[in-house]
């Protein structure tokens, strides 16, 4: 098997680790980036390429591509080139990838599938956010396309002038925000699902200052982000929600972020490019091997016309 791994960023631990397992099993594995995808001329048209080579020379392409607000068109265009190659299996194709990256689309699809998610509204002005606060009390606002907690903000039930200015600044950047009630909790759970089965699962234990797992753009000088990551064995009900959420999004693997609330388990997000590179090496090895298992099974079971 010739496996192409489209990495989130250069030297990404997850992509490098998956490639190492694939090579250990006798496969050829090439790690590349979005900028390595191009389009050459064919005698009567176009030829998608990876590092200048015909992309159809690969058997499987595993996408861990970063599709963010910046460079959205560029990323989607290149993913589209690789998603329509006859004879090449893509995990996961562009349509599946994009509808998960877009939080509005992701939350709506989960809602349609009966997966518990927070009540969610779109806000295009400060009055919209204030109306949400009157309904829910404390709220969280965030961009529909984002990662690592950047510009995810918690707001009080009554906005001060400083909070209004903060919201206005976010709206000036994004045009529209997701707004949801804030659920008091002591840490998110992440259920990693690979090929329909649970893999390494973690809990992000948060403290008084770190109410979200990732700090966003960074911390003030001398500040600490008091988050501890623990490998856990979640209860069966939580695993079931993670598996169902991954299936609902049509993903071959995903990281499903779940919060325990008074109303029960709530899915906050499905991550199309889950990370485990911050874990100890022995823990990283588990999903690395599970992903290669998934690739091998998927290739063996794919119709001849799609690989």
The model's pLDDT over 258-274, given as tens digits with 9 standing for 90+, comes to: 999 998 999 999 999 99
CATH class entry, domain 121-181 = alpha beta
Q: Does domain 101-116+184-271 have CATH number 1.10.3720.10?
A: no
pLDDT of residue 170: 97
pLDDT of residue 226: 64
**pLDDT tens track, the chain, 307 positions:** 999 999 999 999 999 999 999 999 999 999 999 999 999 999 989 999 999 999 999 999 999 999 999 999 999 999 999 998 999 999 999 999 999 999 999 999 999 999 999 999 999 999 999 999 999 999 999 999 998 889 999 999 999 999 999 999 999 999 999 999 999 887 889 999 999 999 999 998 876 566 777 766 655 555 565 668 899 999 999 999 999 999 999 999 999 999 999 989 999 999 999 999 989 999 999 999 999 999 999 999 876 545 4
pLDDT of residue 59: 97
Residues in contact with 293: Cβ distance below 8 Å, sequence separation at least 6, in sequence order: 194, 195
Which CATH number is 2-92+286-306's, of 3.40.640.10, 3.90.1330.10, 3.40.470.10, 3.40.50.20? Answer: 3.40.50.20
pLDDT of residue 214: 72
pLDDT of residue 248: 98
Where exactly are the structural domains of the chain?
2-92+286-306, 101-116+184-271, 121-181
pLDDT of residue 301: 86
The reply to whether 101-116+184-271 shares the fold of 2-92+286-306 is no
b/e per residue 51-65 (b: at least 16 CB within 10 A) = eebebeebbbbbbbb
pLDDT of residue 303: 67
Alpha-carbon gap, residue 218 to 216, rounded angstroms: 6
Burial of 278 (0-12, 13-18, 19+ CB in 10 A): exposed
pLDDT of residue 205: 80
pLDDT of residue 224: 60
């Amino acid at each position: 098997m010739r496996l192409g791994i489209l990495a989130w960023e250069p030297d990404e631990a997850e992509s490098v680790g998956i490639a190492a397992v694939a090579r250990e099993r006798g496969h050829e594995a090439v790690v590349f980036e979005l900028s390595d995808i191009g389009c050459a001329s064919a005698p009567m048209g176009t030829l998608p390429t990876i590092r200048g080579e015909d992309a159809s020379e690969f058997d499987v392409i595993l996408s861990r591509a970063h599709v963010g607000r910046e460079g959205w068109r560029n990323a989607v265009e290149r993913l589209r080139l690789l998603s329509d190659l006859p004879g090449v299996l893509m995990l996961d194709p562009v349509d599946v990838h994009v509808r998960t990256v877009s939080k509005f689309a992701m939350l709506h699809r989960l809602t349609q599938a009966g997966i518990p998610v927070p009540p969610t509204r779109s806000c295009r002005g400060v009055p919209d956010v204030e109306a949400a606060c009157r309904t829910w009390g404390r709220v969280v606002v965030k961009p529909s396309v984002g990662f690592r907690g950047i510009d995810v903000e918690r707001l009080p039930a009554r906005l001060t002038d400083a909070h209004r200015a903060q919201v206005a600044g976010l709206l000036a950047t994004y045009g529209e925000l997701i707004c949801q009630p804030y659920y008091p909790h002591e840490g998110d759970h992440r259920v990693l699902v690979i090929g329909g089965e649970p893999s390494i699962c973690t809990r992000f234990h948060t403290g008084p200052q770190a109410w979200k797992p990732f700090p966003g753009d960074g911390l003030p000088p001398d500040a600490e982000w008091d988050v501890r990551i623990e490998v856990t064995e979640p209860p069966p009900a939580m695993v079931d929600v993670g598996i169902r959420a991954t299936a609902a999004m049509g993903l071959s693997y995903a990281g499903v972020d779940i919060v325990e609330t008074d109303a029960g388990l709530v899915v906050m997000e499905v991550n199309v490019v889950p990370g485990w590179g911050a874990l100890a090496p022995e823990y990283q090895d588990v999903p690395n091997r599970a992903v290669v298992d998934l690739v091998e099974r998927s290739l063996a079971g794919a119709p001849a016309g799609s690989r």
